[in-house]
Amino acid sequence: MVMTEQNLNYKELLQKNFLDTWVHYLEFNITRHRRMVKLAGTPIRALIAEVIYWHELLILAEKGTDEPFETVRTEITKTGKETLKRYLQSKKLSISLISNMTGLPFETIRRQVRTMEVAGLIQQSEVYGLIINKESEFHQKCANELVHFEQNQIVKLIQKALD
């Protein structure tokens, strides 16, 4: 990647405003996670839902890019070549992949996924594996309440970094 003058300015601004920016970033993460836990019911279910949403956003992003799944390839490579190979063949989000990505035991993820399926929060897709149930109250609240909070916080984070 070629560093442009603009990139250097952003880097300098972030360095200058790092403490304020980082405090806001951590506060945003903690608050966001607490909200997601409240919606999902437990911290583990919130983490599982976040991974599933991440996967779904990557699928949406792939439709508008020339570099299909470049981000997911990079991230999944960290979990092992076998996992990456299986994922790239199917692009299905599995319990094994969630376990590898989160560092939580397979059985813990399997039990929680089953509970989330029974509760109607997530479902299985033949094409994509685990997905969020778009008809669920959980998704409606995430899409309507959490996304607006996230967008506002990201704007504040950028302002902190660039001030």
Give the model's pLDDT for residue 136.
Answer: 93
Parse the chain into domains and list their residue ranges: 41-132, 134-163
Contacts with 86 (C-beta within 8 Å, 6 or more apart), sequence order: 94, 96, 97
In a 3-state reduction of DSSP, which class is residue 140? helix
User: Distance (Å, rounded) from C-alpha 132 to C-alpha 143?
Assistant: 11
pLDDT tens over the chain, length 163 residues: 455 555 558 788 878 888 888 898 899 899 999 999 999 999 999 999 999 998 888 777 766 654 544 555 565 556 555 655 555 555 789 999 999 889 999 999 999 999 999 999 999 988 889 999 999 999 999 988 888 888 899 898 888 888 8
Q: How far apart are the first and last CA of the chain?
A: 25
pLDDT of residue 1: 46
**Cα–Cα distance measured from residue 12 to residue 7, given in angstroms and rounded to the nearest whole number:** 9
What are the φ/ψ torsions at residue 122 (nearest 5 degrees)?
A: -130, 170
Per-residue model confidence (pLDDT) at position 18: 86
What pLDDT does residue 6 have? 56
